[in-house]
């Protein structure tokens, strides 16, 4: 096994709170182990442009509490071409980088898998996305922080909703995943939750709203994941308005604020454990794998498996509980 001397670390694709904490853990673990670290700016684009920075312990001082990513992120179409990846490889080789830690989502992992196979470069991946939609980890980086952000927003919306006896349709992120909707919906006491994975249709929502009305609730909050099959919050609001035209309906799309903010304690600790594990695994000769949390343990999953499998991330028991809470 070839000894690793210089790890290139980068963030790519959608950003998520906790990415900085993961970068910090990679840098500090590697330096502790006498391995150099190169920061690669803007993900794969930075590899192609040779946009590198040599990192030391101080480069990552006071970043653990910040959202976003100090190494920036980007989407890079050129990396999808053989020529682009060749350019990236020539640059990292010239800089002495002999292993990679990629922090990102599905797309980032797909690129890392391909690159590692083509050029025989060891790579470990850390799942960073607020959507929590990756195989191989119970929780992805940023998901817990996003849930807290959404709950805070729901609490604030609830204040104004109850003052005016309004019904609010709050759209949260999750194109294919209802994880944020379910968790924040339960935590925020929503009257109804619509998720892409659950084909509930609007009839059930009508029933839930009618029930809430019969109980003389002064306000109602419906959480809708952006990928819900009924077409997002505006569309659902329109359908509901046609049937309940006496209701004072408002729509609030939370949008990108869910991707920002200071990472929660949970995300900081998770990121630190994942960054540490990624470096240790590279040193032990592991490659083409993701690190993740299973129960309380940090484990690895081969990239091939992580990329080819889907898991149903909604907690079945929580789904059942959510229904009872709304009744």
Residues tagged active-site: 131
Task: Copy the structure tokens of residue 218.
Answer: 């002064």
**Which residues make beta-bridge pairs with 200?**
none
Q: Which residue is nearest to ligand ADP (CB)?
A: 107
If the CB atoms of residues 38 and 129 are measured against ligand ADP, the closer one turns out to be 129
DSSP letters of 91-137? Answer: HHHHTT--EEEEEE-HHHHHHHHHHHHHHT--EEEEEB-TT---TT-
- Annotated binding residue 191: yes
Residue 29: CB minimum distance to ligand ADP, A: 23
Q: What are phi and psi of 264, to 5 degrees?
A: -70, 165
d(CA 43, CA 73) in angstroms, rounded, equals: 6
Residue 159: CB minimum distance to ligand ADP, A: 34
- Annotated binding residue 156: no
- Annotated binding residue 107: yes
If the CB atoms of residues 17 and 185 are measured against ligand ADP, the closer one turns out to be 17
- Annotated binding residue 108: yes
d(CA 107, CA 128) in angstroms, rounded, equals: 11
Residue 107: CB minimum distance to ligand ADP, A: 2
- Annotated binding residue 7: no
If the CB atoms of residues 179 and 322 are measured against ligand ADP, the closer one turns out to be 179
Place of tokens 């990629």: 102
Kind of pairing between the strands at 220-225 and 99-104: unpaired
Residues that bind ligand ADP in the complex, under the rule CB under 6 A = 12-14, 44, 75-76, 79-80, 104-108, 110-111, 114, 129
Residue 43: CB minimum distance to ligand ADP, A: 6
| 96 torsion bin: left (phi>0), alpha (psi -120 to 50), beta (else) | left
**Residues annotated within a binding site:** 14, 24-28, 75-76, 105-108, 129-131, 158, 166, 173-175, 189-191, 215, 217-219, 226, 250, 256-259
């Amino acid at each position: 096994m070839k000894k690793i001397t210089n790890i290139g670390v980068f963030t790519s694709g959608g950003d998520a709170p906790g990415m900085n904490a993961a970068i910090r853990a990679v840098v500090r673990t590697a330096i502790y182990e006498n391995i150099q670290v190169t920061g690669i700016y803007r993900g794969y684009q930075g590899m192609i442009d040779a946009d590198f920075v040599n990192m030391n312990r101080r480069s990552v001082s006071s970043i653990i509490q910040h959202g976003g990513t100090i190494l920036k992120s980007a989407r890079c179409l050129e990396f999808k071409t053989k020529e682009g990846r060749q350019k990236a490889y020539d640059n990292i080789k010239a800089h002495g980088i002999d292993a990679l830690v990629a922090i990102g989502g599905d797309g980032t992992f797909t690129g890392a898998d391909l690159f590692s196979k083509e050029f025989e470069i060891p790579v470990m991946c850390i799942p960073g996305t607020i959507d929590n939609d990756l195989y191989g980890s119970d929780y992805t980086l940023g998901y817990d922080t996003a849930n807290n952000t959404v709950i805070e927003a729901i609490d604030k919306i609830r204040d104004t909703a109850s003052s005016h006896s309004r019904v609010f349709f709050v759209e949260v992120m999750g194109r294919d995943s209802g994880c944020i909707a379910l968790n924040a919906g339960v935590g925020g006491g929503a009257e109804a939750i619509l998720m892409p994975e659950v084909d509930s249709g609007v009839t059930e929502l009508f029933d839930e709203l009618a029930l809430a009305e019969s109980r003389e609730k002064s306000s109602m909050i419906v959480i809708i994941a952006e990928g819900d099959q009924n077409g997002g919050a505006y569309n659902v609001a329109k359908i509901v308005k046609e049937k309940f035209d006496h209701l004072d309906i408002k729509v609030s799309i939370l949008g990108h604020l869910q991707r920002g903010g200071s990472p929660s304690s949970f995300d900081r600790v998770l990121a630190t454990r994942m960054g540490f594990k990624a470096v240790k695994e590279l040193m032990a000769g592991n490659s083409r794998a993701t690190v993740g949390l299973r129960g309380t343990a940090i484990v690895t999953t081969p990239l091939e498996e992580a990329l080819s499998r889907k898991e149903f991330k909604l907690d079945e028991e929580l789904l059942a509980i959510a229904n009872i809470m709304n009744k």
